[in-house]
Amino acid sequence: MPLDEATVKKIAFLARIKVPEDELDHLAAELSQIIGWVEQLAEVDTGAITPMTVVADMTWPKRDDTVTDGGYAGKVLANAPEVKGSFYTVPKVVE
Amino acid sequence: MDKLIDLDIARARDGLAAGEYSSETLTRAHIEAVEAARNLNAYITETPEIALAGARESDVRRAKGEALGAMDGIPIAVKDLFCTEGVPTTAGSHILDGFVPGYESTVTKNLKAAGAVMLGKTNMDEFAMGSACVTGHFGAAKNPYQGPDGKDLVPGGSSGGSASAVAARTCLGAIGTDTGGSIRQPASFCGIVGLKPTYGRCSRWGIVAFASSLDQAGPMTRTVRDAAIMLTAMAGFDPKDSTSAPVKAVDFEAALNRDIKGLRIGIPKEYRIKGMPEEIDKLWKKGASLLRDAGAETVEVSLAHTKYALPAYYIVAPAEASSNLARYDGVRYGLRVPGQSLDEMYENTRGRGFGKEVRRRVLIGTYVLSAGYYDAYYLKAQKVRALIAEDFREVFETVDLLLTPTAPSAAFPIGEKMDDPLAMYLNDVFTVPASLAGLPAVSVPAGEDNFGLPLGLQFIGKPFDEKTVLRAADVFQAASGFGSS
Amino acid sequence: MGYLIEGESGDWEVVVGLEVHAQIISEAKLFSGAATGFGAEPNSQVSFVDAAMPGMLPVINEHCVAQAVRTGLGLQAKINLLSVFERKNYFYADLPQGYQISQFKHPLVGEGTITLDLPDDATRKVGIERLHMEQDAGKSLHDQDAVRSFIDLNRSGVPLMEIVSKPDLRGPEDAGAYLRKLRSILRCLGTCDGNMEEGSLRCDCNVSVRKVGEADYRTRAEIKNLNSVRFVMQAIEFEAVRQVEVYENGGKVNQETRLFDSAKGMTRAMRSKEFAHDYRYFPDPDLLPLEISQEFVDGIKASLPELPEQKKERFLADHSLSAYDAGVLVAERETADFFEAVAEGRDAKTAANWVINQLSRELNRSGESIENSPVSSQDLGKLIDLVSNKTISTAAAKTVFAIMYADGGDPAAIVAAKGLTQITDTGEVETAVDNVIAENPDQARDVRDGKDKTIGWFVGQVMKATGGKANPKAVNELLRKKLLG
């Protein structure tokens, strides 16, 4: 099923990626081609098959409830583009 | 000095142990080689100081009789997808501008603990998305092999920089990651060995995530023996990675006994695809015959759902990627492009920071997970994936290994297939099935095409049976005479 | 009839469902080893995993799973031995990963019940829909700067249980009773401290209205992040009336998220544009499905403390308390424990009386909790003994209690020091009674004429004459005997 520009715009917003207006058309065509191609999976009879969400065949690994991490705000903030004191900062959000 | 860069890991190990040269000398030779090969654009960040410091420490250890093992003092290159503490890590992307990790990935930590010495971070497709190493922010890497008309060729992707670095003899080995073929295909294009271990064999902690259920770190080397040596140092259970397999440490090199008598090797008929170049088919047959000469049995087998592997992959991988890449938002690290509001900042940062291929895949991934489409695409793809894994499971009841081509062509000129994403995706047709099933697979140099460009063959094995995969590949490499042994 | 809103067109019923986010009591976070305590320096309880740095991976805290199972058992709910973590994908500044690890299609806990304690000793069972585990987000501060919001990720990754009720609540009273009961169960189990001021218990409520007799539910509005029981009740009250007015004016109620303005006692729609959220849930590929064994569940069941409901039933049966008294005593485990210590070997009704009235009053006045009561359960018990063995009167006991609360001390010692031992010598009391009657012939005649109230005056006189040491009850009986025959 081909994707139109409006759909691409909606998806791009969900993904928070700005797509310049003049690229929307071409991008929609590319995405439509890819989606059209993957749609051949509909041919496969998957009736009662359980989806393979996990590759590893093992029991779940767990941690003890002890504090073993954190306590290095300096390192955590070191790569931040904008910092005030010990906070990250972003453009103000109004609720 | 030339002699030193013509070594491989196994021979360098012997030479270092025998005191023929020091690690510092060995490393300096490779630092010079890195500099001399800059036109290949195989490295994003060169780290000669770190390499020399590591080499000197190795020599000190060795002098005390405390050498760590086969990898001690060996200069290697690291794909820029591994987070290396204190060293810029880009994942080939503009969006990680300025990012310097405060932590070390488990795999590189393991190699460091084994004494390996890092020459630099290698070029790659952005966020490991690509099969030509042309989508990265730092430009295309080049294959040391050139086209018949002197054209620059792609080294394959996404671990193209690592493949090129090894093939051009700038390092004795390199590490890459493989999600849909990103170690094996560039290995095939550059005429080297590239191994994707079983999913869970190596830890993913500290590797910039592309597709969580597929990503695997692996060695890229000139010989199979070297790959075995590197894997031994890289692998191991990591409690920080919930998908890390709790299997015991293995000495993979010990499995290389050059004996494959009685080994049953399957030739899956569905890998003979329409339009496949004749020379690849011939090479495949020749490969099977070589293995029979060495005492193995070959038999035709069927993996019925093979042709659906590529479309299933191009649903699952982008879906996981769309979520894994949501953290690149300009808030805590990397590029930030300002905006009037939070959402605008996100959109500007990600719009400017991601390249076109990444954007395509993130949008595909977002789409196939979105309301109304999840069942038809993502869920369907995971069901097809289960069928593909089942195909392999069944076949492995009667054979020990599978032999297939690695790629549907030799390296192609840089610039080709750029306007046709689907054409690019078809590069992965032989490598993707083993990725979906989480199986160990290796590409070994097997021959050349009519233009003298490398062609590889792939061995696929049972889960956690790298030993058999490496054993057969080692015999094959020795018999076929490609790459030093 | 229940809580109804009288509209112009008839009576309206209020339908409420509550979603409670309860922070699990644990040392470390759900998927990372950072600490969970409240009030730390910003970003000091953040690991690289919580900051969503590249390559970071989640590993689950087993204790948190046990706490969630324990809570499920406390809610008489079905424990699902297989549950799955899924990613809820959306962008916000306090959500570093760009997704929240939560549970969607397969929660850890299924349907259960809570019994509400309602006025007049009524009770009603309310359904729990499910309980699942998820990560908390960080905190954004929007009021610190004119153009920037500040982000603190200490809370990012803290373990939460989301407890969803069925839409069985019918008004503010129900909601209040539900929250108080839920809080009491969580605190009794030790799985959440229920502190709404500090945010370890947060409540979103879904409110809709419908005409009495309507079978279907109408559109509901969600009111988010209410952090006190009082605010929840006020918000529901306001919102229900608002919706009735909308309908009665011919309008439509929008399905939207609203905030409660506690200063004005009103709800209002959120200012930001409300996009239909498409969370694109899919199973988290970094985690395995959570499979717990029946043994694991049984082990937790065996270690459950007595729940408020069970305790209440036991108090009713063993101690013949009223349902109201029993309900008050079991609301907090510490209160119930204190009461039981006092009631040991004594009259339960008396003990309950002292705890619920005298002690609670003083504790409220001084803002103390019962764990820090200045009067210990032993001392209160001793005081009660002094009354029951007639050493002092009840009135005197209240005086002694006030002294014990303010200054501490042993009750017997205080009685001796203040000379409060009541006169038990009936002869002495009788003499005092005779004297008072003799000295007040007019009042004596009033009593004989039927003015019953004057007996009280006589009691007061006798108490004065005996310096307050007579037993008022005994004096009253004596007076009646002597005056009325």
Angstrom distance (rounded) from CA B294 to CA B299: 15
Chain position carrying tokens 């008022």: C472
Average pLDDT over residues C125-134: 97
User: What letter would DSSP give residue B98?
Assistant: T
* Per-residue pLDDT at C163 exceeds 80: yes
Cα separations (Å) of C267 from C176, C238, C256? 18, 7, 11
Q: Give CA separation, B392 vs B385, B400, B435, in Å.
A: 11, 11, 12
Across B397-407, b (16+ Cβ under 10 Å) vs e yields eebbbbbbbbb
C241 compared with C1, residue with greater pLDDT: C241
**Minimum CA–CA partner of C50 in chain A:** A70
> Ramachandran region of residue C105, left (φ > 0), alpha (ψ -120 to 50) or beta?
alpha
Of the listed ranges B129-133, B139-143, C196-200, C207-211, the one predicted with least confidence = C196-200
For residue B176, give the H/E element and its range: strand B173-178
Measured CA to CA, the distance from residue C202 to residue C185 in angstroms comes to 15
pLDDT in tens, B58-115: 999 999 999 999 999 999 999 999 999 999 999 999 999 999 999 999 999 999 999 9
DSSP letter at B375?
I
Q: Contact C41/A86, CB-based, under 8 Å?
A: yes
Contacts of B378 in chain C (CB under 8 A): 282
Model pTM score: 0.90
pLDDT band at C205 (very low <50, low <70, confident <90, very high): very high
pLDDT in tens, C313-372: 898 888 888 888 888 898 888 899 999 999 999 998 999 999 999 899 999 888 888 988
Q: Does B348 touch chain C (CB under 8 A)?
A: no
For residue C28, what is the DSSP state? B
The per-residue pLDDT of chain A, averaged, comes to 92
C-beta atoms of A64 and C290 within 8 A? no
User: What is the domain partition of chain A in residue ranges?
Assistant: 5-43
Phi then psi for B448, rounded to 5 degrees? Answer: -135, 155
What chain B holds in terms of domains, given with CATH numbers, is 2-262+401-480 (3.90.1300.10)
Alpha carbon distance C82, C102 (integer Å): 14
End-to-end Cα, chain B, rounded Å = 21
Contact B193, B444 (CB under 8 A): yes
The span from the CA of B367 to the CA of B374, in Å, is 8
Name the residue among B255, B17, B18, B34 with its Cα closest to residue B115: B17
* CA gap C55, C397 in Å, rounded: 68
Q: Which residues contact B300 (CB under 8 A, 6 or more apart)?
A: B266, B267, B268, B269
**pLDDT at residue B485, as a whole number:** 41
Length of chain A: 95
pLDDT for C478 equals 85
With an 8 Å Cβ cutoff, are A17 and B347 in contact? yes
Measure Cα distances from A15 to B130, B283, B366, C181 in Å: 20, 44, 7, 41
Chain B positions touching C52 (Cβ under 8 A) are 327, 332
Q: Show residues of chain B in contact with C271, CB under 8 Å.
A: none
- pLDDT bracket for residue C275 (50, 70, 90): low
Q: What is the pLDDT of residues A1-22, one digit of tens each?
A: 789 999 999 999 999 999 999 9
pLDDT at B1: 44
pLDDT score recorded for residue C368: 87
**B317: which residues sit within 8 A by CB, 6+ positions away?**
B179, B180, B210, B211, B214, B361, B365
Each residue's pLDDT tens digit, C391-404: 888 888 888 999 89
Q: Under an 8 A CB cutoff, do C33 and A68 touch?
A: yes
Average pLDDT over residues C90-112: 97
Instruction: Say whether residue C48 is in contact with chain B using an 8 A CB cutoff.
Output: yes
Q: Could you give the CA distance from residue C187 to residue C185 in angstroms, rounded to a whole number?
A: 5
* Nearest C-alpha neighbor of C209 from the set C249, C231, C237: C237
Of the two residues A11 and C428, the one the predictor is more confident about is A11
Choose among C35, C62, C142: nearest Cβ to A93. Answer: C142
At C431-461, the pLDDT tens digits run 888 888 889 888 888 888 888 888 888 888 8
Q: Which of B420, B401, B390 is nearest to B466 (CA)?
A: B401
Run means of pLDDT, 10 residues per run, chain B, 485 residues: 84 96 97 98 98 98 95 98 98 98 98 98 97 94 95 96 98 98 98 97 98 98 98 97 91 96 97 91 96 97 97 97 98 96 96 97 96 93 96 98 96 89 90 97 96 96 97 96 63
What number is the average pLDDT over the span C161-166?
Answer: 98
Range C398-412 average pLDDT = 89
Which structural domains are found in chain C, ordered by start?
Answer: 4-300 (no CATH), 306-418 (no CATH), 426-484 (1.10.10.410)
| CA neighbor of B358 nearest in space, from B318, B316, B331, B320 | B318
Query: C135: distance to nearest CA of chain A, Å?
Result: 15
Q: Are C158 and C198 in contact (CB under 8 A)?
A: no
pLDDT value at residue A56: 65
Q: Which helix (H) or strand (E) holds A88?
A: strand A87-91
* Percent above pLDDT 90 for chain C: 60
Using CB atoms, pick whichever of C91, C151, C282 lies closest to residue B319: C282
Subunits in contact with chain C (3 or more CB pairs closer than 8 Å): A, B
Shortest alpha-carbon distance between residue A70 and chain B (Å) = 13
Q: Distance between CA B63 and CA C456 in Å, rounded?
A: 106
Q: Report which of C159, C222, C217 is spatially closest to residue C18, judged by C-alpha positions.
A: C222
Known catalytic residue: B182?
yes
Give the nearest partner residue to A46 out of B334, B345, B384, using CB atoms.
Answer: B384
